[in-house]
Amino acid sequence: MTTPIPHLLLRGGNTFDSSARTFSGPRDVLCHDGRFVAAAADGAGNVLACEGMYIVPGLIDCHVHLTSSGAGNEESLTRGMPTAIRAFRAMRHAEATLRAGFTLVRDLGAPEHLNIHLARAIADGLIEGPTILAAGFGVTMTGGHGHTAIAREADGPDEVRKAVREQLRAGAGAIKLFASGGVMTPGVDPRAPSFTEAELQAGVEEAHKAFRTAAAHAQATEGIKNAIRAGVDSIEHGIWLDEEAIGLMLDRGTYLVPTLTAPTQIDAGGAEAGIPGFMLEKNKRVIEDHIASYQTAVEAGVKVAAGTDQGTPMNRPGENGQEIVLMANHGLTPATALLAATAWAAEMLGLGEERGRVDEGYIADAVVLSRDPLADITAIADPTAIVAVVKDGRVVHRNDGGTR
Ligand SMILES: [Zn+2]
């Protein structure tokens, strides 16, 4: 039998109202049995003084790789590393992610199903971390992007179907399909489509049958269109969106998870960070188009959700908040950037009814900030501004040092 969680009162904070897109209050927010509630049953509870603070919903990152540290040379660093050491590292990365206010993440590819095992260890209470929807391996064509590390190769609709079923059998909470080349695999061109529409369709069908979202890594224009037509829930990266692709996304309600942090951090890190030359070179060719595509999509009204691609070079766990800042710097308002990492992300993941809002009945995940993120969005990515992180109605992190 599990011990009941004592209720938790977040007292007197300004609370983000996701519908009004502004803070309301000050008011009390009550958590009981892991949910936000209007009134608690009797019994002793805990109180967190939030007067003068800003309460936002627990943050969501729709694209991480928790097995990766985000080192510049991660692939050479981890080559030959024992699985157990990889798992211990992933545990640390999960803890850092949670401390940054991210209470839910979707892990889109890891070696040896480590992301699925990590998700289970956290769900079972063995270790602290965000709730994880883990894809297991991504599924890619023979020689396609990701094949060297985080993907299982498959060719033809039937084999893709089988590869997806394998991930589901292992316990995957999401499915990842590779619809084009990418920056991080040597010899693979990000402008090249990979799976055919029929292959993608088979994968999406299996994912949706199991009530999982299907995410497509899609950078090349044709790859993006194949994925949208195949019915994926989200286009990851979306570097080369053209008018037709944007029209298709609007028609189908497909989300864009732009992962602006990935190219930005490769560019910032450079050769000094140990990032392989081929990546730097490919990144140079994509970064401007990537940001321009995102801006065009936002202006056209394409739905967006926040995802960092944490684990790519210099894209470290616990620094996930920078994606929200980038999304705001390049076209969203601070309030809508916050929605992209909360309510909108939850909707994309099919969890809009129970996550992403500080509202009665929702899962009690929240972040208490000392600074107003709508006045200055960088507060969301500033570890000294995070006063507390609440997950499932429990305070899982308190920042007692530093500025307060
Ligand atoms: Zn990724």
Domains present along the chain, CATH in parentheses: 7-57+356-398 (2.30.40.10), 59-348 (3.20.20.140)
C-alpha 184 to ligand 1 mean position (Å): 9
Cα–Cα distance, 201 to 77 (Å, whole number): 36
C-alpha 307 to ligand 1 mean position (Å): 9
* Mean pLDDT in residue range 4-10: 83
pLDDT for residue 148: 85
C-alpha 353 to ligand 1 mean position (Å): 26
**Tokens representing 206?**
């299996």
* Mean pLDDT in residue range 311-316: 96
Cα–Cα distance, 381 to 399 (Å, whole number): 14
C-alpha 66 to ligand 1 mean position (Å): 10
pLDDT band for position 185 (cuts 50, 70, 90): confident
The residues, any chain, with a CB within 8 Å of residue 391's CB and separated by 6 or more, are: 58, 98, 103, 130, 131, 364, 365
pLDDT band for position 403 (cuts 50, 70, 90): very low
HSE toward the beta carbon, residue 52, CA cutoff 13 A: 4
C-alpha 65 to ligand 1 mean position (Å): 6
* Mean pLDDT in residue range 243-250: 98
Residue 141 or residue 400, greater confidence? 141
C-alpha 236 to ligand 1 mean position (Å): 8
Backbone angles phi, psi at 231, to 5 degrees: 95, 20
C-alpha 146 to ligand 1 mean position (Å): 9
**Tokens representing 290?**
């990537």
Distances in Å between the Cα of 156 and the Cα atoms of 181, 202, 223, 337, 380 are: 17, 9, 16, 38, 43
pLDDT for residue 404: 39
C-alpha 349 to ligand 1 mean position (Å): 16
In tens, the pLDDT along 41-66 reads 666 789 999 999 999 999 999 999 99
pLDDT band for position 189 (cuts 50, 70, 90): confident
- Helices then strands, counting H and E runs in the chain, come out as 12, 17
Residue 154 or residue 149, greater confidence? 154
Distances in Å between the Cα of 99 and the Cα atoms of 64, 227, 317 are: 15, 34, 10
Which residues are bridge partners to 49 per DSSP?
11
In tens, the pLDDT along 356-378 reads 999 999 999 999 999 999 999 99
Task: Please say whether the beta carbons of 192 and 216 come within 8 A.
Answer: no
pLDDT for residue 43: 63
C-alpha 38 to ligand 1 mean position (Å): 39
**Tokens representing 22?**
């502004």
Q: Is the pLDDT of residue 149 over 90?
A: no
pLDDT for residue 40: 67
Cα–Cα distance, 196 to 163 (Å, whole number): 15
In tens, the pLDDT along 76-116 reads 899 999 999 999 999 999 999 999 999 999 999 999 999 99
Q: If you write DSSP's letter for every residue of 156-172 in order, what string do you get?
A: SHHHHHHHHHHHHHHT-
